[in-house]
Structure 1
Amino acid sequence: MLSRKGLIPEDYLLTRLAEDVQQPKYKTKQGKARFVRKNGACNVAHTNIREQGRFLQDVFTTLVDLKWLHTLIIFTMSFLCSWLLFGMIWWLVAFAHGDLDQKGDDFVPCVTDIHSFSSAFLFSIEVQVTIGFGGRMITEECLSAIIILILQNIVGLVINAIMLGCIFMKTAQANRRAETLIFSKHAVISLRNNRLCFMIRIGDLRKSMIISATVRMQVVRRTTTDEGEVVPLDQIDIHMDNPVGTNGIFLVSPLIITHVIDKTSPLYNLSRDDLEQQDIEVIVVLEGVVETTGITTQARTSYVSEEILWGQRFVPTVSEEDGIYAVDYCKFGNTMKVPTPCCSAKELEEAGDSARFSLNDGATSRTSVRRRRKAAVVRKSRMENK
Structure 2
Amino acid sequence: SLLCKTKWFKLSKTRLVDKDGRCNIEFGNIKYRNHLGYVVDFWTTFVEVRWRYVLLMFVASFIGSWFVFSLLWYWIAQSNGDLMGQNRADGHVRCVDNMDGLTTAFLYSLETQTTIGYGGRSLIGVFINCFICGVILAKISLPKKRAKTVTFSDTAVICLNKESLCLLIRVANLRKTLLIGSQIYGKLVRTTTTADGDTVILDQVDIDFVVDAGKDNLFFVCPMTLYHAIDRSSPFYELSANSLPQQDFELVVFLDGTAESTSSSCQVRTSYVPQEIQWGHSFLPIISRTKTGKYRVDFSNFSKSVRVTTPHCARCFEKDPDLTGCNAEDDQQEKSGIDNLGFQVIDIHDSVDVTKM
**Structure 1 length-normalised TM:** 0.72
Distance across 2 between alignment mates of 1:220 and 1:228: 19
Contact 1:129–1:156 (8 Å) recurs in 2: yes
The aligned counterpart of 1:330 is 300
Shift of 1:284: 1.2
Task: Work out which of the residue numbers 173, 184, 202 in structure 2 matches 1:215.
Answer: 184
Contact 1:201–1:255 (8 Å) recurs in 2: yes
Distance across 1 between alignment mates of 2:193 and 2:119: 64
The aligned counterpart of 2:112 is 127
SS, match of residue 242 in structure 2: helix
Task: Work out which of the residue numbers 84, 89, 109 in structure 1 matches 2:67.
Answer: 84
Deviations along 1:240-293, whole A, 9 cap, x unmatched? Answer: 213321413222111101112344432233333332321111111223233333
Greater alpha carbon shift after TM alignment, 165-174 vs 314-323: 165-174
Change (3 A) 1:331 1:81: same
Distance across 1 between alignment mates of 2:316 and 2:312: 9
In structure 1, stretches of 5+ residues that fail to align are 1-12, 15-24, 133-148, 368-386
In structure 2, stretches of 5+ residues that fail to align are 332-357
Q: Establish whether residue 171 from structure 1 lines up as the match of residue 140 from structure 2.
A: yes
How many residues are aligned here?
Answer: 321
* Residue identity opposite 2:320 in structure 1: A
Shift of 1:221: 0.7
* Residue identity opposite 1:43 in structure 2: N
Q: Establish whether residue 310 from structure 1 lines up as the match of residue 279 from structure 2.
A: yes
SS, match of residue 16 in structure 2: coil
The aligned counterpart of 1:41 is 22
* Residue identity opposite 1:209 in structure 2: L
Contact 1:36–1:43 (8 Å) recurs in 2: yes
Contact 2:284–2:305 (8 Å) recurs in 1: yes
Larger radius of gyration: 1
Equivalent residue runs for 1:239-254 within 5 Å: 239-254=208-223
Contact 1:60–1:162 (8 Å) recurs in 2: no
The aligned counterpart of 2:249 is 280
Q: Establish whether residue 62 from structure 1 lines up as the match of residue 77 from structure 2.
A: no
SS, match of residue 273 in structure 1: coil
Identity %: 38
Distance across 2 between alignment mates of 1:150 and 1:236: 61
* Residue identity opposite 1:172 in structure 2: S
The aligned counterpart of 1:372 is none
Distance across 2 between alignment mates of 1:45 and 1:311: 37
Change (3 A) 1:99 1:26: closer
Distance across 1 between alignment mates of 2:206 and 2:141: 30
Distance across 2 between alignment mates of 1:336 and 1:239: 25
* Residue identity opposite 1:306 in structure 2: Q
Shift of 1:28: 6.6
Distance across 1 between alignment mates of 2:119 and 2:184: 52
Contact 1:243–1:249 (8 Å) recurs in 2: no
Task: Work out which of the residue numbers 252, 261, 271 in structure 2 matches 1:292.
Answer: 261
Equivalent residue runs for 1:1-386 within 5 Å: 13=1, 29=7, 31-32=10-11, 33-49=14-30, 51=32, 52-96=35-79, 99-100=82-83, 102=88, 109-111=94-96, 114=99, 116-131=101-116, 150-322=119-291, 323-344=293-314, 347=315, 351=318, 354-357=319-322, 359-360=323-324
**Structure 2 length-normalised TM:** 0.77
Change (3 A) 1:363 1:83: closer
Runs of 4+, deviation exceeding 6 Å: 25-28, 361-364
Greater alpha carbon shift after TM alignment, 219-228 vs 332-341: 332-341
Deviations along 1:209-232, whole A, 9 cap, x unmatched? Answer: 333332221111111122322112
Deviations along 1:350-371, whole A, 9 cap, x unmatched? Answer: x4xx4214x146689x99xxxx
* Residue identity opposite 2:160 in structure 1: L
Shift of 1:207: 2.5
Change (3 A) 1:108 1:243: farther
* Residue identity opposite 2:285 in structure 1: P
Distance across 2 between alignment mates of 1:103 and 1:212: 79
Shift of 1:29: 4.3
Distance across 1 between alignment mates of 2:46 and 2:125: 18
Distance across 2 between alignment mates of 1:301 and 1:126: 50
Change (3 A) 1:164 1:90: same
Distance across 2 between alignment mates of 1:243 and 1:112: 79
* Residue identity opposite 2:301 in structure 1: K
The aligned counterpart of 2:346 is none
Shift of 1:318: 0.9
* Residue identity opposite 2:123 in structure 1: I
Distance across 1 between alignment mates of 2:211 and 2:52: 42
Whose helix fraction is larger, Structure 1's or Structure 2's? 1
Greater alpha carbon shift after TM alignment, 78-87 vs 211-220: 211-220
